[in-house]
Amino acid sequence: MHILRSKLLAEGKTLSEVTTEICEKLGVKARILPMSNSRVETRVGTPLGELSFEEYFVQRWYQDPVESIRFAGAADAEPGPGVLEAIMNADIVLLAPSNPVTSIGPILAVPGVREALHTDQGADRRREPHCRGRSGRRPGRNSDGFARSAGFGCRRRGGISRFSGYACD
């Protein structure tokens, strides 16, 4: 799928178009919406300098202390087609990627998404990962430091403090 995704993007299709095409090929019935058609990249600040998340995690094996996290491109990104409408019309929105810093953080960094999740319309629609005093699924041995350096301190009873205002399951 990654090769097909890369090929379709190189042909000039948007991420939303590529996602729809792949879902159709796989027979996925659920509507899958990318957060944005814009490129948003997780960047990790270390004593060596700023690294892409892939370089930090795969090439360097997450061995370096994390000093900061930023989501390059997020401030200029726009939510993908239908994303805000889907959030506003949903009974519940479950943000359930593997890691709150590297998966949910970029989604919430796209202008308009966090605000849409915090509207008072409809039922309680916000959920954050339950982390039992830890940062969720680990991006390696530095996971708790990773979360804290990104401003995602873990609360004692579970949940990520940067997601204040979200229900914790």
**108-127 tens-digit pLDDT:** 999 999 999 887 554 444 44
Instruction: Using pLDDT thresholds of 50, 70 and 90, give the confidence band for residue 162.
Output: low
Q: What is the number of structural domains in the chain?
A: 2
Residues 19, 87, single domain; the answer is no
- Which residues contact residue 80 at a Cβ distance below 8 angstroms, ignoring those fewer than 6 apart? 15, 16, 33, 34, 35, 36, 37
* Segments forming the whole domain that contains residue 96: 33-168
**Partners of 43 in beta bridges:** 52, 70
Residues 25, 70, single domain; the answer is no
| pLDDT for residue 21 | 97
Hey, is 140 helix, strand or coil?
A: coil
Please report, for the domain that includes residue 100, its CATH number: 3.40.50.10680
Asked if the model's pLDDT at residue 82 lies above 50, the reply is yes
Residues 10, 52, single domain; the answer is no
Question: Which percentage of the chain shows pLDDT scores above 90?
Answer: 56
